């Protein structure tokens, strides 16, 4: 009996010591985790200041870090209200986290010398690349203020990013844009919402390029690591309607594809927006289609067809230099053409565009009370001009 009592006391003492050690470990493990996490983040982001406010650990289920602040001089400033790392014994054994979630806070990045749209070479993560890896990372209600050489975006984002297959980068995306710039395009409020299959919807209140303004834009969108595709979009333009599809694909070289359909476009607004009122005056409305394809540094396809909407319109050429590119036309004939296009009213009109080698061929056929007017204009080396335009609007080059 005495031996049993002594053994029981020893067992109770052992249990007490173990419990005390576990309590002490739990008491100090959270500060240790904060310290290790801070060291790890500073290693990943050199020359950065890292602060972590608090840590809560639930064994074999979740690690929570809160009030995280990361900054590097003027380059970036990150504040995350709550970071949750989900795991279990099986995931630790397989060196794989269940999920990482960032909730609330903001991300401010100011890197005007960097390009945001850099396409990485890697296509998936693997356990050989890191001790712990994951398939998805989640961001919820993160305020964003991004400034790069090619774009600026201010808004709020919630997303689930796929690190398993970045060819389908977004498992989910809800991006609200207060304002932004992509190249020389300016965006006034918009939203992109993408579901698990990388397909979604987008809408923009206004998209502006100099005096070119599109309003009430909406359509479908698909985003991938090497692809941005708008299968359909619709917008208000120059008092009429613009629709079509746009694609960007990057494999070994970038490919851009544009297909536009124009309905009831006010030509006087076009002339005014392009600041051509001192050169030409056009009144009337047109319908039309325009297709062109840029592959690497070559304009491979361009086809266009525009026709006047009844009852026609009016055309006046003010600057004869617009006609100097006409082949085989003397200066005297140009003066006569300018005279013939003074207050010329047309009932029917057709404009055709096509590409021959590097030259853009423009064919204009008009018919009115003063007779027919047929012009064929050849814009030499048009490829170079359109590539300069591509640099301005797509790559963010400045004038």
Q: What is the pLDDT of residues 271-281, one digit of tens each?
A: 888 788 888 88
What average pLDDT does range 104-110 have in this prediction?
A: 93
Measured in whole angstroms, the distance separating CA 246 from the mean position of its chain's CA atoms is: 12
Statement to judge: residues 147 and 271 lie in one domain: no
DSSP letters along 85-107, please?
Answer: EE--HHHHHTTB-SEEEEEEEEE
Q: What is the mean pLDDT of the chain?
A: 79
In this structure, are 60 and 184 located in the same domain? yes
Which domain, by its residues, includes 280? 238-399
Say if residue 244 is in the same domain as residue 190: no
pLDDT given at position 142: 94
Residue 17 lies in a domain: no
Report yes or no on 358 lying in a domain. Answer: yes
Q: Is residue 25 part of a domain?
A: no
Q: Is the pLDDT of residue 295 over 90?
A: no
Query: Do both 148 and 245 map to the same domain?
Result: no
What is the average pLDDT across 91-98? 77
Tally of CB atoms within 10 A around 21: 10
- Residues 121, 258 within the same domain: no
Distance CA 74, CA 112 (A): 11
Confidence of residue 392 (pLDDT cuts 50, 70, 90): very low
From the list 95, 101, 180, the residue with the least C-alpha distance to 136 is 101
pLDDT band at residue 244 under the 50/70/90 scheme:
very high
Task: Say yes or no: 57 and 175 in one domain.
Answer: yes
Beta-carbon contacts of 225 under 8 Å, excluding residues fewer than 6 positions away, are: 119, 120, 123, 166, 167, 168, 169
Asked if 383 and 271 sit in the same domain, the reply is yes
What average pLDDT does this structure show over 88-96?
78
What's the pTM? 0.74
Residue 386 covered by a domain: yes
Residue 390, token pair as written in the block = 């591509």
Instruction: State whether 161 and 280 are in the same domain.
Output: no
Q: Are 195 and 213 in contact (CB under 8 A)?
A: no
184 and 249 inside one domain = no
How many domains, in total, are found in the chain?
2
Burial of 1 (0-12, 13-18, 19+ CB in 10 A): exposed
Domain boundary among 142, 165, 194: 194
CA–CA dist 226, 214 (Å, integer): 26
Q: Please report the pLDDT score of residue 398 as a whole number.
A: 42
Chain centroid to CA 299: 22
pLDDT confidence of residue 284: 93
Pairing of strands 254-266, 285-295: antiparallel
Position 26 in a domain: no
Query: Which CA distances in Å does 101 have to 37, 84, 160?
Result: 15, 5, 9
Percent of the chain at pLDDT above 90? 27
- The per-residue pLDDT for range 24-66, each reduced to its tens digit, is 545 556 777 787 788 888 888 888 899 988 888 887 788 899 9
Spatial separation of the C-alpha atoms in residues 88 and 98, rounded to whole Å = 8
- Rounded Cα gap, residues 299 and 327, in angstroms: 23
pLDDT of 15: 59
Alpha-helical (H) ranges within the chain are 2-44, 89-93, 267-273, 331-340, 382-393
Say how far apart CA 199 and CA 194 lie, in whole Å: 5
Does the pLDDT at position 188 exceed 70?
yes
Q: What percent of the chain has pLDDT over 70?
A: 77
Q: Does 250 lie in the same domain as 372?
A: yes
- pLDDT per position as a tens digit, 335-344: 777 788 888 8
Flag whether pLDDT at 218 surpasses 80: yes
User: Is residue 11 very low, low, confident or very high in pLDDT (cuts 50, 70, 90)?
Assistant: low
- For the chain, the farthest-separated pair of C-alpha atoms sits apart, in whole angstroms, at 131
Query: Is a pLDDT exceeding 50 seen at residue 98?
Result: yes
| More confident site: 47 or 164 | 47
Higher pLDDT, 107 or 362: 107
Name the nearest CA neighbour of 258 among 227, 291, 287. Answer: 291
Cα–Cα distance measured from residue 161 to residue 191, given in angstroms and rounded to the nearest whole number: 17
Q: What is the pLDDT of residue 91?
A: 75
Q: How many CA atoms lie within 13 A of 398 on its CB side?
A: 4
pLDDT band at 82 (very low <50, low <70, confident <90, very high): very high
Tell me: do 249 and 368 sit in the same domain: yes
Tell me the average pLDDT across 276-288: 88
Q: What is the DSSP letter of 309?
A: P
Average pLDDT of the segment spanning 324-352: 78
Picking from 256, 247, 249, the residue whose alpha carbon sits closest to that of residue 225 is 249
pLDDT at position 119 over 50: no
Last residue of a domain, one of 130, 163, 194: 194
The answer to whether residue 312 sits within a structural domain is: yes
Residue 240 has pLDDT above 90, yes or no: yes
- pLDDT above 80 for 137: yes
Q: Which of 19-23, 148-152, 275-279 has the lowest mean pLDDT?
A: 19-23
**Residue 298: inside a domain, yes or no?**
yes
Residues 164 and 124: their CA atoms lie apart, in Å, by: 5
Q: Measured in Å, how far apart are the chain's first and last C-alpha atoms? A: 97
pLDDT score at 222: 84
Assess if residue 224 is contained within a domain. no
Does 170 lie in the same domain as 115?
yes
Q: Measuring CA to CA, which residue among 212, 221, 151 is closest to residue 179?
A: 151
In terms of DSSP H, where are the helices of 45-138? 89-93
pLDDT score for 130: 45
Domain boundary among 132, 161, 194: 194
pLDDT tier, 165 (very low <50, low <70, confident <90, very high otherwise): low
CA–CA distance, 97 with 115 (Å, rounded to integer): 30
Q: Give the number of C-alpha atoms closer than 13 A to the C-alpha of residue 70, restricted to the C-beta side.
A: 24
CB 143 within 8 A of CB 105: yes
Task: Of 121-125, 221-225, 315-319, 393-397, give the range with the top mean pLDDT.
Answer: 315-319
> pLDDT band at 355, cuts 50/70/90?
confident
pLDDT score, position 234: 97
For the chain, helix (H) and strand (E) counts, in that order, are 5, 21
């Amino acid at each position: 009996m005495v031996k049993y009592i002594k053994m029981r006391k020893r067992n109770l003492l052992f249990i007490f010591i173990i419990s005390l050690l576990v309590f002490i470990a739990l008491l100090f493990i959270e500060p240790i985790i904060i310290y290790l996490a801070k060291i790890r983040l500073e290693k990943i982001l050199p020359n950065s200041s890292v602060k972590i406010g608090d840590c809560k650990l639930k064994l074999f289920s979740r690690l929570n870090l809160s009030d995280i602040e990361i900054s590097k001089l003027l380059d970036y400033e990150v504040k995350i209200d709550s970071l949750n790392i989900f795991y279990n014994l099986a995931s630790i054994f397989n060196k794989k986290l269940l999920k990482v979630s960032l909730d609330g806070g903001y991300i401010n990045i100011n890197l005007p010398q960097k390009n945001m749209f850099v396409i990485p070479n890697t296509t998936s993560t693997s356990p050989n690349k890191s001790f712990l890896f994951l398939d998805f990372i989640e961001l919820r209600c993160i305020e964003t203020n991004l400034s790069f050489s090619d774009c600026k975006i201010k808004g709020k984002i919630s997303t689930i990013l796929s690190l398993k297959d970045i060819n389908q980068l977004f498992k989910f995306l809800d991006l609200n844009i207060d304002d932004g710039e992509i190249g020389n395009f300016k965006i006034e409020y918009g939203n992109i919402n993408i579901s698990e299959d990388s397909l979604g919807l987008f809408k923009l209140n206004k998209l502006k390029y100099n005096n070119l303004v599109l309003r009430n834009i909406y359509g479908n969108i698909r985003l991938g690591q090497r692809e941005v595709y708008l299968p359909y979009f619709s917008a208000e333009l120059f008092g009429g309607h613009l629709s079509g599809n746009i694609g960007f694909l990057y494999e070994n070289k970038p490919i851009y594809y544009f297909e536009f359909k124009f309905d009831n476009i006010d030509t006087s607004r076009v002339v005014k927006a392009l600041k051509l009122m001192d050169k030409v005056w056009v009144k009337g409305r047109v319908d039309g289609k325009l297709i062109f394809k840029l592959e690497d540094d070559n304009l491979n396809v361009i086809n266009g067809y525009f026709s006047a909407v009844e009852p026609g319109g009016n055309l006046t050429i003010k600057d004869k230099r617009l006609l100097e590119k006409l082949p085989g036309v003397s200066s005297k004939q140009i003066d006569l053409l300018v005279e013939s296009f003074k207050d010329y009213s047309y009932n029917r009109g057709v404009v055709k565009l096509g590409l021959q080698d590097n030259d853009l061929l423009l064919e204009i056929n008009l018919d009115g009370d003063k007779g027919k007017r047929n012009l064929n204009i050849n814009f030499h080396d048009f490829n170079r001009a359109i590539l300069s335009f591509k640099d301005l609007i797509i790559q963010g080059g400045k004038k």
